[in-house]
Amino acid sequence: MKDGERWVVVGLGNPGDRYSGNRHNAGAMALEVLLRRAGASLRKHKSGALVGEGAVGGERVVLARPAVLMNDSGRPVQGLLRWYKSSPERLIVIHDELDIRFGGVRVKQGGGTAGHNGLRSLVSHLSGADFNRVRIGISRPRADRDSVGYVLGDFSAAERKDLPDLLERAADATERIIEAGPEAAMNTFNSH
Q: What confidence score (pLDDT) does residue 1 get?
A: 46
Options 24, 45, 95, 116, the catalytic residue: 24
pLDDT at 192 over 80: no
| 23, 137 Cβ separation under 8 angstroms | no
User: Residue 82, Cβ neighbours under 10 Å: how many?
Assistant: 10
Is 125 among the catalytic positions? Answer: no
**What's the structural domain count of the chain?**
1
Among 94, 159, 161, CA closest to 133: 94
pLDDT at 95 over 50: yes
CATH number of 163's domain: 3.40.50.1470
User: Residue 185, Cβ neighbours under 10 Å: how many?
Assistant: 26
Residue 51 forms part of a structural domain: yes
Residue 1 forms part of a structural domain: no
Residue 133 sits in which domain range?
7-189
Residue 36 forms part of a structural domain: yes
**What is the rounded CA–CA span in Å between residue 188 and residue 184?**
6
The residue-averaged pLDDT of 99-118 equals 94
pLDDT at 75 over 60: yes
Q: What confidence score (pLDDT) does residue 28 get?
A: 98
What pLDDT digit, counting tens, does each position of 136-191 carry? 999 999 888 889 999 999 999 999 999 999 999 999 999 999 999 999 999 999 97
Residue 2 forms part of a structural domain: no
The reported pTM is: 0.95
Residue 163 forms part of a structural domain: yes
